[in-house]
Structure 1
Amino acid sequence: MHFLLVGASGRTGQHVVSELLSQGHTAVALVRTASSLLPRPGLTITTGSPLSKPDILTALHAAPPLPAPTAAIITLNTVRESDSPFAAQVSPLRFLADSCANVCEVLEQAGIHRLVVMSTAGVGDSWANLPWLSKVFLSWTNVRYALEDHGLVDEEVRRTGMEWTLVRAARLRFEGREKAEVERAEAVRTLGSEGKGMSMTDSVGVAGVASFSVKCADEGLFVRSAVVVVN
């Protein structure tokens, strides 16, 4: 398959690139700066913004003679001034939601309907099953802005005719390369859209999220569904 990737230069997105290429797929990545991704065979890098529909459209045709992508994977997240949960938000309001809406509109007009989006546990109907301490953390830190934006993404994709999947990742772990390779080979556990059974100790490695997202796109799993994942 040939994929459009949005957010490929991020910590999860780079694992998506590795997973796709290792399986023999090809991809075009829309990134803000070309130097943010290492050029690799099978990967086309094009610069632009997901807030720009013309940039997204250009990306669809950026890898001739390959045909247009058959699916898209979005692994965008909001940006703060630092990794501190209290750091000020840098991304504009609705950055994730508007980016996702733009991607969906351009893809639908091009006749492309498969979409997998990385989301987060706590969005939508999974909030009720989030551990109480996690709710406190999300409510009283600037991480809440990311949660709110992911919630708007959830609303946007459900209004489309896309064959979407929302991968609601539990607390993300950013491991070293060796650990990531192990996690990539491990199957994540799925807890449905509501995340029933989530605990404070649950987390998921970025490599596991990447592998699961590719599997969903490739095999047509959890179409028009949200799913909480842990490992």
Structure 2
Amino acid sequence: MHFLLLGATGRTGRHVVTELLAQGHTAVALVRNPASLDVRKGLTVVQGSPLEKADIEKALASGQTIDAAIVTLNTVRASDSPFAAQVSPPRFLADSCETLVSVLSSHNIHRVVVMSTAGAGDSWKGLPWLSRAFMGWTNIKYALADHSLVDAEIRQTGVAWTLVRPVKLEYDEAKSPKKEIEVLDSKGGGKLGVSDSAHVVGVAKLLVKIAAEGLYVKDAIVVRD
């Protein structure tokens, strides 16, 4: 399959690239800084912004027909600290998704898999109260609000969307992800705990699997290790 990737330079997006290329798929990645991605066989890198229709059009015109889009965009804070100020616009994720869907729909491309986060949409009440307090008190709340906008708005479109909501992402590559990540319903199945996490490698593999196999169409899932 041939994928369009938004967010390929991020900490999850890089693993998505590795996974889909390892499976023999190809992709075009729309990125702000092409130098931030290594040149690899099967990967085309196009410079541009996910907020600009012309840039997404440019990515679509760069090679073969797109089968599906995988979005791993996230908001940007001044640092990784949850207390750091928000840098990206309030609707960065929502507007990027809206722009993407508009362009894809005009080309009769309808499969979109979006990495969201546990706490967005109807999964908020499924979080432990301590997690809700922390996310509502820190600047994480701005990213959560943007993810929730994506959650609400993509449901009103005609695309075959899937929202993947990982709990706290684990980025330590020294820790091995489980062979099979656990998939819960959109609210977390009433099973979420404060210490739950999802390894970024496992999440990336699941995103590719969902996009390639057409799983969970028009559904939102919470995932954890």
Same fold, TM exceeding 0.5?
yes
SS in 2 for 1:168: strand
Distance 2:85 2:17 in 1: 29
2:187 matched to 1:190?
Answer: no
Q: What residue in structure 2 maps to residue 224 of structure 1? A: 218
Matches within 5 A, 1:149-160: 149-160=146-157
The match for 2:79 among 79, 82, 96 is 82
Distance 1:68 1:49 in 2: 20
Identity %: 59
Separation (CA, whole Å) in 2 of partners of 1:210 and 1:61: 25
- Alpha-carbon distance, 1:198 to partner: 0.7
User: Once the two structures are superposed, what CA deviation does each residue of 1:123-152 show, in whole Å capped at 9, x if it has no partner?
Assistant: 111111101110011110000000000000
Aligned amino acid, residue 209 of structure 2: K
Residue equivalent to 2:162 = 165
Q: 2:102 aligns with which of 105, 108, 114?
A: 105
Divergent runs of 4+, >4 A: none
Compute the RMSD of aligned alpha carbons.
0.9
Q: Matches of 2:25 and 2:61 in 1, distance apart?
A: 16
Provide the rounded CA distance (Å) in 2 between the counterparts of 1:104 and 1:175. 33
Gaps of 5+ in 1: none
Counterparts of 1:206-217 in structure 2, within 5 Å, are 206-217=200-211
- How many Å apart are 1:186 and its aligned residue? 1.5
Tell me the TM-score normalised to structure 1 length: 0.95
TM-superposition CA deviations, 1:156-200 (whole Å, max 9, x none): 210111111000010011122x54xx42x6111011111121111
Using the TM superposition, give the Cα deviation of residue 73 of structure 1 relative to its aligned residue in structure 2, in angstroms: 0.1
Name the aligned partner's letter for residue 142 of structure 1: N
Task: Tell me the residue number matched to 2:24.
Answer: 24
TM, length-normalised to structure 2 = 0.98
Instruction: Summarize deviations over 1:178-224 as a string: whole Å, max 9, x none.
Output: 54xx42x6111011111121111111011111100100001111000
Q: Post-superposition shift, 1:108?
A: 0.6
Deviation at 1:120? 0.3
Provide the residue aligned with 1:47 in structure 2.
47
Paired position in structure 1 for 2:128: 131
- How many Å separate the matches in 2 of 1:10 and 1:36? 10
Secondary structure of the corresponding residue to residue 83 of structure 1: coil
Q: AA paired with 1:80? A: R
Deviations 1:14-68 (A, max 9, x none): 00000000000000000000011111000000000000011001101112xxx22
SS of corresponding position for 1:167: strand
Instruction: Give the superposition deviation at 1:226.
Output: 0.2
SS, match of residue 116 in structure 2: strand
Number of equivalences: 224
